[in-house]
Amino acid sequence: MKKGNFINRALALAVVAFVSVAGFAKGNILIHPYLKTSYAIVSAQHALIEPFKVKIVADNGETLYESPRIKNEANFQKLFDLESFNDGDYKVVLIGKKSKSEERFSIIDHKIVKAADSEAKTASTLDTFFRKVDNRLFVSHLNFNNQPMSLSIYDDESNKLFTTNLEATSSYSGMFDISELPVGEYCVNFQSGEKSYSYEFEK
């Protein structure tokens, strides 16, 4: 089956859980615990129009995660399970061609106990959340300004596999069956008005 046809059979279902966390200003990074779990949401917004990467680096200099190069997007978001992280100090580093910024955080007992200045970053609201569980992709969005919305999925060669326009309602939450996707790396892009959010996942 061609990749482009996989999502045509996907079933979009209502998801009752929404998440709203503190936001960030342009060029900043946010590390925020997800509810009362061992998961954390790492989000970054790049101020310049240039390719960039996001890394998580331990205090000893070891790189625990490095994203692929992100092009034509201003936002990055990924959910991490902190069960695989040892207690200690870490930093999220956003690296562009002409810029670099970082945000430090600490983990104790597989949970974030410090995310420097995260509560102070209230210039805007991070209102889109992505999560992949097995063969299900969950997307939730709190549309505070009732902007037109759209959702697209791309493969690792930037081929568009699926796109849909969504009504300008106050919120959106859906689940997509991705079981028919071939093994590989993918990116889902959610557009709300002039804001764009991206989430990378592997199948």
The tokens describing 93, both together, are: 């580093």
Q: Max CA-CA distance within the chain?
A: 48
Q: What is the pLDDT of residues 137-186, one digit of tens each?
A: 888 776 667 788 899 999 988 899 988 898 877 677 778 888 888 999 99
Predicted confidence at residue 186, as pLDDT, reads 92
Going across the sheet that includes 128-133, the strands are 128-133, 136-142, 171-177
Phi, psi at 5, each rounded to 5°: -100, -5
The answer to whether residues 147 and 168 touch, using CB atoms and an 8 Å cutoff, is: yes
Q: What is the pLDDT of residues 91-122, one digit of tens each?
A: 999 888 877 888 888 988 888 875 544 333 33
pLDDT of residue 21 exceeding 70, the answer is: no
Domains and CATH numbers, the chain: 3-17+127-202 (2.60.40.3080), 26-120 (2.60.40.3080)
Predicted confidence at residue 19, as pLDDT, reads 30
pLDDT of residue 57 exceeding 90, the answer is: yes
- How far out from the chain centre does Cα 151 lie? 14
The answer to whether residues 113 and 106 touch, using CB atoms and an 8 Å cutoff, is: yes
Closest to 12 in 3D by CA, of 128, 166, 176: 176
Predicted confidence at residue 48, as pLDDT, reads 62
Identify the DSSP state of 84.
G
Please report where in the chains the tokens 């949401």 appear, as a residue.
41
> Which one has a higher pLDDT value, 7 or 56?
56
